[in-house]
Amino acid sequence: MTDGPRTELGTFLRRRRNGALRADYDLPPLGRKRTEGLRREEIAFLSGVSVTWYTWLEQGRDINPSRQVIDAIAVNLRLTEPEHDYALGLAGFTPPPRPVLAEPAPVPAHVQHLLDALDPAPAFALTPHWDIAAWNRAYEGLFPAVREAAASQRNLLQFIFTDPWVRSMLPDWEHTSRQFLAEYRSEAGGRAGGPQHVRLVGHLRAESEEFSRAWDAHEVERFASRRREFLHPSAGKLVFEQVNIVPQDAPDLHVVSYLPLPESDTRAAAARLLEN
Protein backbone atom coordinates (compact mmCIF):
# COMPACT_ATOMS: atom_id res chain seq x y z
CA MET A 1 0.00 0.00 0.00
CA THR A 2 1.53 3.31 -1.07
CA ASP A 3 1.65 6.41 1.11
CA GLY A 4 -1.35 7.96 -0.63
CA PRO A 5 -3.92 5.22 0.06
CA ARG A 6 -2.46 4.54 3.51
CA THR A 7 -2.75 8.18 4.54
CA GLU A 8 -6.25 8.45 3.07
CA LEU A 9 -7.38 5.32 4.90
CA GLY A 10 -6.14 6.69 8.22
CA THR A 11 -7.80 10.05 7.63
CA PHE A 12 -11.06 8.42 6.52
CA LEU A 13 -11.27 6.15 9.58
CA ARG A 14 -10.40 9.00 11.94
CA ARG A 15 -13.14 11.21 10.53
CA ARG A 16 -15.72 8.44 10.78
CA ARG A 17 -14.64 7.68 14.35
CA ASN A 18 -14.86 11.34 15.32
CA GLY A 19 -18.33 11.62 13.77
CA ALA A 20 -19.82 8.57 15.51
CA LEU A 21 -22.61 9.30 17.99
CA ARG A 22 -21.69 8.00 21.42
CA ALA A 23 -25.32 7.36 22.33
CA ASP A 24 -25.51 4.81 19.50
CA TYR A 25 -22.91 2.76 21.39
CA ASP A 26 -24.54 3.29 24.80
CA LEU A 27 -21.54 5.39 25.82
CA PRO A 28 -21.74 8.57 27.92
CA PRO A 29 -20.70 11.96 26.52
CA LEU A 30 -17.05 12.96 26.57
CA GLY A 31 -16.82 15.63 29.20
CA ARG A 32 -20.08 17.44 29.79
CA LYS A 33 -21.35 18.11 26.30
CA ARG A 34 -19.45 16.20 23.62
CA THR A 35 -21.85 13.61 22.23
CA GLU A 36 -19.89 12.76 19.07
CA GLY A 37 -16.67 10.84 18.69
CA LEU A 38 -15.29 7.55 19.93
CA ARG A 39 -11.92 7.27 21.64
CA ARG A 40 -9.30 5.28 19.78
CA GLU A 41 -9.18 2.78 22.61
CA GLU A 42 -12.94 2.25 22.32
CA ILE A 43 -12.95 1.38 18.62
CA ALA A 44 -9.74 -0.66 19.05
CA PHE A 45 -11.35 -2.71 21.82
CA LEU A 46 -14.52 -3.31 19.80
CA SER A 47 -12.44 -4.38 16.78
CA GLY A 48 -10.08 -6.70 18.67
CA VAL A 49 -6.82 -4.82 18.01
CA SER A 50 -4.40 -2.97 20.26
CA VAL A 51 -4.71 0.78 20.78
CA THR A 52 -1.14 1.26 19.54
CA TRP A 53 -1.80 -0.67 16.33
CA TYR A 54 -5.05 1.19 15.66
CA THR A 55 -3.31 4.52 16.30
CA TRP A 56 -0.66 3.59 13.73
CA LEU A 57 -3.41 2.73 11.25
CA GLU A 58 -5.02 6.15 11.63
CA GLN A 59 -1.61 7.82 11.40
CA GLY A 60 -0.96 6.13 8.04
CA ARG A 61 2.10 4.25 9.23
CA ASP A 62 3.71 1.42 7.30
CA ILE A 63 1.56 -1.46 8.55
CA ASN A 64 -0.44 -4.02 6.61
CA PRO A 65 -3.90 -4.61 8.07
CA SER A 66 -5.63 -7.84 7.18
CA ARG A 67 -8.97 -7.92 5.43
CA GLN A 68 -10.57 -9.33 8.61
CA VAL A 69 -9.33 -6.34 10.63
CA ILE A 70 -10.63 -3.83 8.07
CA ASP A 71 -13.98 -5.64 8.08
CA ALA A 72 -14.11 -5.56 11.88
CA ILE A 73 -13.31 -1.84 12.02
CA ALA A 74 -15.88 -1.12 9.30
CA VAL A 75 -18.57 -3.01 11.20
CA ASN A 76 -17.81 -1.27 14.49
CA LEU A 77 -17.64 2.17 12.89
CA ARG A 78 -20.98 1.28 11.25
CA LEU A 79 -19.78 2.20 7.80
CA THR A 80 -22.24 2.00 4.96
CA GLU A 81 -21.61 -0.55 2.20
CA PRO A 82 -19.96 2.05 -0.10
CA GLU A 83 -17.79 3.29 2.80
CA HIS A 84 -16.83 -0.28 3.72
CA ASP A 85 -15.87 -1.00 0.09
CA TYR A 86 -13.88 2.25 -0.01
CA ALA A 87 -11.90 1.28 3.11
CA LEU A 88 -11.17 -2.16 1.67
CA GLY A 89 -9.96 -0.61 -1.57
CA LEU A 90 -7.63 1.78 0.26
CA ALA A 91 -6.21 -1.19 2.18
CA GLY A 92 -5.50 -3.02 -1.08
CA PHE A 93 -8.39 -5.46 -1.11
CA THR A 94 -11.06 -6.01 -3.74
CA PRO A 95 -14.50 -5.33 -2.28
CA PRO A 96 -16.73 -8.42 -2.36
CA PRO A 97 -19.77 -8.55 -4.63
CA ARG A 98 -22.83 -7.48 -2.68
CA PRO A 99 -25.68 -10.00 -2.82
CA VAL A 100 -29.09 -8.60 -3.67
CA LEU A 101 -32.21 -9.23 -1.67
CA ALA A 102 -33.57 -12.33 -3.40
CA GLU A 103 -37.17 -13.35 -3.90
CA PRO A 104 -38.23 -16.28 -1.71
CA ALA A 105 -38.93 -19.57 -3.45
CA PRO A 106 -42.59 -20.53 -3.94
CA VAL A 107 -44.03 -22.49 -1.02
CA PRO A 108 -45.36 -26.02 -1.53
CA ALA A 109 -49.02 -26.15 -2.51
CA HIS A 110 -50.06 -27.89 0.70
CA VAL A 111 -48.62 -25.02 2.79
CA GLN A 112 -50.74 -22.54 0.85
CA HIS A 113 -53.75 -24.82 1.38
CA LEU A 114 -53.07 -24.72 5.12
CA LEU A 115 -52.90 -20.92 5.11
CA ASP A 116 -56.15 -20.68 3.18
CA ALA A 117 -57.87 -23.10 5.55
CA LEU A 118 -56.99 -20.85 8.49
CA ASP A 119 -59.09 -17.94 7.13
CA PRO A 120 -60.43 -15.78 8.74
CA ALA A 121 -57.47 -16.11 11.11
CA PRO A 122 -54.57 -14.16 9.53
CA ALA A 123 -51.66 -16.46 8.69
CA PHE A 124 -48.46 -16.35 6.67
CA ALA A 125 -45.39 -18.48 5.91
CA LEU A 126 -41.87 -17.32 6.81
CA THR A 127 -38.61 -18.44 5.22
CA PRO A 128 -35.42 -18.88 7.33
CA HIS A 129 -34.54 -15.23 6.55
CA TRP A 130 -38.04 -14.12 7.55
CA ASP A 131 -39.23 -13.37 4.06
CA ILE A 132 -43.03 -13.65 3.81
CA ALA A 133 -43.34 -16.30 1.11
CA ALA A 134 -47.12 -16.86 1.26
CA TRP A 135 -50.18 -15.65 3.15
CA ASN A 136 -53.97 -15.94 3.27
CA ARG A 137 -56.73 -13.43 2.55
CA ALA A 138 -57.17 -12.45 6.19
CA TYR A 139 -53.49 -11.54 6.53
CA GLU A 140 -53.74 -9.47 3.37
CA GLY A 141 -56.76 -7.72 4.90
CA LEU A 142 -54.76 -7.06 8.06
CA PHE A 143 -51.75 -5.83 6.13
CA PRO A 144 -52.54 -4.90 2.48
CA ALA A 145 -48.94 -3.89 1.67
CA VAL A 146 -47.89 -7.54 1.63
CA ARG A 147 -49.61 -7.85 -1.76
CA GLU A 148 -48.29 -4.55 -3.10
CA ALA A 149 -44.64 -4.95 -2.07
CA ALA A 150 -42.05 -6.40 -4.43
CA ALA A 151 -41.35 -10.04 -3.63
CA SER A 152 -37.74 -9.23 -2.63
CA GLN A 153 -39.05 -6.65 -0.12
CA ARG A 154 -41.61 -8.87 1.61
CA ASN A 155 -39.55 -9.35 4.73
CA LEU A 156 -41.18 -9.33 8.16
CA LEU A 157 -38.35 -7.40 9.82
CA GLN A 158 -38.37 -4.83 7.05
CA PHE A 159 -42.12 -4.31 7.43
CA ILE A 160 -41.85 -4.02 11.22
CA PHE A 161 -39.03 -1.49 11.22
CA THR A 162 -39.78 0.57 8.09
CA ASP A 163 -43.51 0.41 7.31
CA PRO A 164 -45.63 3.18 8.93
CA TRP A 165 -48.82 1.07 8.57
CA VAL A 166 -47.39 -1.73 10.70
CA ARG A 167 -46.14 0.70 13.31
CA SER A 168 -49.50 2.47 13.53
CA MET A 169 -51.30 -0.84 14.12
CA LEU A 170 -49.07 -1.96 17.01
CA PRO A 171 -49.81 -0.16 20.30
CA ASP A 172 -46.75 -1.91 21.78
CA TRP A 173 -44.51 -1.43 18.73
CA GLU A 174 -41.27 -0.87 20.65
CA HIS A 175 -41.63 -4.06 22.69
CA THR A 176 -42.95 -6.14 19.80
CA SER A 177 -40.28 -5.03 17.33
CA ARG A 178 -37.47 -5.90 19.74
CA GLN A 179 -39.07 -9.24 20.59
CA PHE A 180 -39.34 -10.19 16.93
CA LEU A 181 -35.72 -9.19 16.39
CA ALA A 182 -34.57 -11.24 19.38
CA GLU A 183 -36.43 -14.26 17.98
CA TYR A 184 -34.92 -13.75 14.54
CA ARG A 185 -31.45 -13.55 16.06
CA SER A 186 -32.02 -16.79 17.94
CA GLU A 187 -32.92 -18.56 14.68
CA ALA A 188 -30.24 -16.89 12.56
CA GLY A 189 -27.25 -17.94 14.66
CA GLY A 190 -26.07 -20.62 12.26
CA ARG A 191 -26.50 -18.31 9.26
CA ALA A 192 -24.85 -15.24 10.76
CA GLY A 193 -22.04 -15.21 8.20
CA GLY A 194 -24.22 -16.03 5.19
CA PRO A 195 -24.65 -13.48 2.41
CA GLN A 196 -28.45 -13.20 2.74
CA HIS A 197 -28.26 -12.55 6.47
CA VAL A 198 -25.42 -10.03 6.07
CA ARG A 199 -27.28 -8.28 3.25
CA LEU A 200 -30.54 -8.13 5.24
CA VAL A 201 -28.90 -6.71 8.37
CA GLY A 202 -26.88 -4.20 6.36
CA HIS A 203 -29.97 -3.12 4.42
CA LEU A 204 -32.03 -2.62 7.59
CA ARG A 205 -29.20 -0.76 9.31
CA ALA A 206 -29.23 1.71 6.43
CA GLU A 207 -33.03 2.01 6.53
CA SER A 208 -33.71 2.23 10.27
CA GLU A 209 -31.74 3.71 13.17
CA GLU A 210 -34.13 1.93 15.54
CA PHE A 211 -33.21 -1.39 13.94
CA SER A 212 -29.50 -0.59 14.41
CA ARG A 213 -29.95 0.19 18.08
CA ALA A 214 -32.06 -2.92 18.67
CA TRP A 215 -29.66 -5.15 16.71
CA ASP A 216 -26.67 -3.84 18.66
CA ALA A 217 -28.40 -4.79 21.92
CA HIS A 218 -27.77 -8.47 21.00
CA GLU A 219 -31.01 -9.69 22.56
CA VAL A 220 -31.81 -13.36 21.94
CA GLU A 221 -35.13 -15.02 22.68
CA ARG A 222 -36.81 -18.24 21.56
CA PHE A 223 -40.29 -18.04 20.09
CA ALA A 224 -43.20 -18.48 22.48
CA SER A 225 -46.90 -18.27 21.69
CA ARG A 226 -48.21 -14.96 22.98
CA ARG A 227 -51.01 -12.45 22.94
CA ARG A 228 -50.95 -9.92 20.09
CA GLU A 229 -53.00 -6.75 19.74
CA PHE A 230 -53.62 -4.73 16.58
CA LEU A 231 -55.47 -1.45 16.04
CA HIS A 232 -56.77 -1.90 12.51
CA PRO A 233 -58.18 1.23 10.80
CA SER A 234 -61.38 -0.53 9.65
CA ALA A 235 -61.69 -3.70 11.76
CA GLY A 236 -60.85 -1.93 15.04
CA LYS A 237 -59.09 -3.56 17.96
CA LEU A 238 -58.05 -7.16 17.25
CA VAL A 239 -56.76 -9.51 19.95
CA PHE A 240 -55.06 -12.72 18.85
CA GLU A 241 -52.87 -15.51 20.13
CA GLN A 242 -49.84 -15.79 17.87
CA VAL A 243 -48.95 -19.43 17.14
CA ASN A 244 -45.96 -20.73 15.20
CA ILE A 245 -46.23 -24.05 13.31
CA VAL A 246 -43.37 -25.82 11.50
CA PRO A 247 -44.70 -28.28 8.89
CA GLN A 248 -42.85 -31.59 9.20
CA ASP A 249 -42.59 -31.91 5.43
CA ALA A 250 -41.47 -28.27 4.96
CA PRO A 251 -39.16 -27.70 7.96
CA ASP A 252 -37.55 -24.57 6.52
CA LEU A 253 -40.87 -22.74 6.71
CA HIS A 254 -42.67 -21.35 9.73
CA VAL A 255 -46.42 -20.91 9.50
CA VAL A 256 -47.37 -18.00 11.77
CA SER A 257 -51.07 -17.71 12.56
CA TYR A 258 -53.06 -15.18 14.58
CA LEU A 259 -55.89 -17.04 16.32
CA PRO A 260 -58.75 -14.85 17.65
CA LEU A 261 -59.00 -14.95 21.44
CA PRO A 262 -62.47 -15.59 22.91
CA GLU A 263 -62.17 -12.66 25.33
CA SER A 264 -62.92 -10.18 22.54
CA ASP A 265 -65.09 -9.87 19.44
CA THR A 266 -62.02 -10.43 17.28
CA ARG A 267 -63.48 -13.48 15.53
CA ALA A 268 -66.28 -11.40 14.00
CA ALA A 269 -63.96 -8.49 13.32
CA ALA A 270 -61.37 -10.76 11.68
CA ALA A 271 -64.06 -12.01 9.29
CA ARG A 272 -64.37 -8.44 8.06
CA LEU A 273 -60.72 -8.54 7.04
CA LEU A 274 -61.77 -10.81 4.18
CA GLU A 275 -63.83 -7.94 2.80
CA ASN A 276 -60.86 -5.54 2.56
Highest mean pLDDT: which of 61-75, 157-171, 184-198?
Answer: 157-171
- Residue 1, pLDDT > 50, answer no
Q: Rounded to an integer, what distance in angstroms lies between the CA atom of residue 75 and that of residue 98?
A: 15
- Residue 2, pLDDT > 70, answer no
Q: Which domains does the chain have, with CATH numbers?
A: 5-91 (1.10.260.40), 109-274 (3.30.450.180)
| Beta partners for residue 270, in sequence order | none
Give me the sheet containing 236-245, strands edge to edge: 132-135, 123-126, 254-260, 236-245, 226-232
What is the structure's pLDDT at 102?
Answer: 65
Q: How big is the chain, counted in residues?
A: 276
Higher pLDDT, 178 or 270: 178
Instruction: Give, in degrees to the nearest 5, the angle at Cα 232 between 254 and 164.
Output: 75
What is the structure's pLDDT at 191?
Answer: 67
Highest mean pLDDT: which of 84-88, 173-177, 198-202?
Answer: 173-177
pTM: 0.66
Model confidence over 123-143: pLDDT tens digits?
999 998 899 999 999 999 999
Burial class (CB in 10 A: 0-12, 13-18, 19+), 225: exposed
Higher pLDDT, 23 or 39: 39
Return mean pLDDT, the chain: 88
Model confidence over 160-181: pLDDT tens digits?
999 999 999 999 999 999 999 9
Distance of alpha carbon 63 from its chain centroid, rounded? 35
Q: Rounded to an integer, what distance in angstroms lies between the CA atom of residue 236 and that of residue 239?
A: 10
Q: What are phi and psi of 136, to 5 degrees?
A: -105, 180
